[in-house]
Amino acid sequence: MIVAEQKHLEEIRRMIAPYDKVVILGCGTCMTVCDAGGEREVSFLHSALRLAQAKSGDGTHSFLEYTVKRQCDPEFIDLIADKVSEVDAILSLGCGIGVQALAERFPDMTVLPGVNTSFMGMAKESGVWDERCAACGDCRLEATAGICPITRCTKGILNGPCAGTKNGKCEASKDMDCAWILIYKRLERLQQLEKMRRYYPPRNFRAIPRPKRITSKISSTGEENG
Amino acid sequence: MAKSLFEEKLYSNKFLVTTEIGPPKGADVSEMIHHVDLLKDKVDAINVTDHQSSVMRFPSLGGCLSVQEHGGEPILQVTCRDRNRLAIQADLLLAYFRGIRNVLCLTGDSIDVGDHKEAKPVFDLDSVQLLKMIKAMESGTDMAGNELKGAPKFCIGASVHPEADFIEPQLVKFDKKVAAGAQFFQTQGIFDLGSLRRFMQYASQFNVKILAGIIVMSSARMARYMNDNVPGIIVPQAIIDELATAEKGKGLQKGIEVAARLIKTIKQESLCHGVHIMAVGNEGIVPDILEASELVTVGR
């Protein structure tokens, strides 16, 4: 899933300053799971903004709150068209995709990002998420025992560890495992070390040219990508 | 095609001595030139580092040109951290055009350990791919397979870490570097000759030259700092304790003693093909180390 962190309250307050009526719009999918922008966070943020406004005596905003199932899907965005017509700006707690989907759907409306979209990852433990995929478009996990060196090695290198690894950790951070040590150990365990001995050529950064688009092979519709 | 002076020596069975210079942070290169003049006739080649520890400095290529102009034999350090494949190939063409013939291929330190932590890490290539790229250029094509008008020819080296705390994955990578065409290796800092001996037992099956990296430390504090902050380095406690016995103000002298002892043993026991002395900011003391190691007249 996509993982994000909510922006600091002060940054959000600066962004919404010019707008009287703002809808705080949550997203019911990834942002709910990573505690950054689901229904609960929308409600907390609403309270925090009102409290800050009351305390500082600065601002006369009124807020609506709403959470759609997925901000990245036009079908669900359409459901809030009426609400949007009542406000001056949307404060989206969706990921960067949600913000842009809203901006495309509502050409005359200001859409503000309430979270910093950070990475694609998984829940490691309660309240902790780790990045796991860089969406490079050229998956090589077969060769690396299911551990992604592009995502988990700070240098994203493909032919084994650099010399900076110490105690199984990365030179960039003592808290971060060296991806290549993990890969080596898991390949060894799976008796597939020959995969590490192969030479891997440089990445193809045009595996899917940016901005990337995938067209379903089952039902292909599709307009200009842009 | 004429071999570089360093390449000729590489295959002459001579005990090789290289050292390295860190270019200045700024446009005043006078101190670097002073070090070049001091060292050029005392060592077989001088590496110029490429933003070592990811700290922005005067470039390796510029430093190598200075070494060349002042009559020294440069080794161009090329890392993959700051330039993509286009930029690296172009730099190599310029280096070759200007007479630089020796290249050390490195992945490069993480941006996170340096002084521009917000910079974009490039790492379009890794060190193995970089070696392969140079071999392709030598055979007359760029990395995309397009024909080059005039192919360069280099003596290419790489790095290896015999003291890594988990050596097996490092050896896998070493094998790949050898297969990719590395002719010589300058190792990461060696402190424990046991690990060098073990590594050489493995490496001697390949037709490559190994120069043991010798880091000169100026104090026990520096050694501890390196253990905590320098990627991959593990200074043994015994050496830290020895450095700590130095009288006040004599730390560097003790560091020179330690380095010279390692060098002498490596040479006497023919443990490997030479040494690469890294004085990290104290380039001026390299002649003292050579003297203490009884390597004073290398000759060119």
ipTM of this complex prediction, to 2 decimal places: 0.94
pLDDT at A112 over 90: yes
DSSP for chain A reads -EEEEEPPHHHHHHHHTT-SEEEEEEESSHHHHTTSSSHHHHHHHHHHHHHHHHHHT----EEEEEEES-TT-HHHHGGGHHHHTT-SEEEE-S-HHHHHHHHHH-TTSEEEE-EEEEEEEEEEETTEEEEEE---SS--TTTTTT--HHHHSTT--SSS--TT-BTTEETTEEEEE-HHHHHHHHHHHTT-THHHHS--PPP-TTSSPSSP----SSS-------
Out of A96, A119, A142, a domain closes at: A119
A17 with A72, same domain? yes
- Residue A220, in any domain of the structure: no
Please say if the pLDDT value at position A220 is more than 60: no
With contact defined as beta carbons under 8 Å apart, do B214 and B19 qualify? no
Distance CA A164, CA B264 (A): 27
Final residue of a domain: which of A119, A142, A165?
A: A119
Inside any domain, residue A209: yes
Report whether pLDDT(B232) > 70. Answer: yes
pLDDT score recorded for residue B300: 46
Q: Which residues of A touch B231 (CB under 8 A)?
A: 162-166, 171
Residues in chain B with CB shorter than 8 Å from the CB of A161 are 169-170, 173
Per-residue pLDDT of B5-48, as tens digits, reads: 999 999 998 999 999 999 999 999 999 999 999 999 999 999 99
B96 phi and psi angles, rounded to 5 deg: -65, -45
Cα–Cα distances (Å) from B38 to B19, B34, B71, B103, in that order, read 12, 6, 11, 22
CATH number of the domain to which A58 belongs: 3.40.50.2300
Q: Which of A119, A145, A176 is the last residue of a domain?
A: A119
User: Is residue B70 within 8 Å of residue B40, measured between CB atoms?
Assistant: yes
Nearest by Cα to A147 from B166, A201, A156:
A156
Cross-chain residue pair B126–A157, CB shorter than 8 Å = yes
Best of A162, A187, A194 to substitute, by most chain B Cβ atoms within 10 angstroms, is A162
The per-residue pLDDT of chain B, averaged, comes to: 95
The structural domain count of chain A equals 2
Largest CA distance in chain B: 61
Give pLDDT tens digits for A123-166.
999 999 999 999 999 999 999 999 999 999 999 999 999 999 99
pLDDT tens, position by position, B81-101: 999 999 999 999 999 999 999
Task: Say if residue A108 is in the same domain as residue A148.
Answer: no
Q: Where are the domains of chain B?
A: 5-292
Say what the pLDDT of residue A207 is. Answer: 85
Q: Does A80 share its domain with A105?
A: yes
Interface of B with A in 202-241 (CB under 8 A): 231-234
Is residue B50 within 8 Å of B87, Cβ to Cβ?
Answer: no
Query: Which residue in A181, A197, A202 is closest to B129 by CB distance?
Result: A202
The mean pLDDT value of chain A amounts to: 94
CATH class of this structure's domain B5-292: alpha beta
Of the residues A171, A186, A204, the best mutation for testing chain B's interface (the one with the most B CB atoms within 10 Å of its CB) is A171
Burial label, B22 (beta-carbon count in 10 A; 0-12, 13-18, 19+): buried
Full domain range(s) for residue A164: 134-215
**Is A174 inside a domain boundary?**
yes
Residues A75 and A99 in one domain: yes
CA distance A140 to A123: 22
User: Among B118, B6, B270, B110, which Cα is nearest to A178's?
Assistant: B110
Residue among B107, B179, B180 minimizing CB distance to A155: B107
Read off the pLDDT band of A209 (50, 70, 90): confident
Cβ of B170 under 8 Å from any chain A Cβ? yes
CB-CB: which of B80, B125, B176 is closest to A199?
B176
Q: Do A166 and B107 touch (CB under 8 A)?
A: no
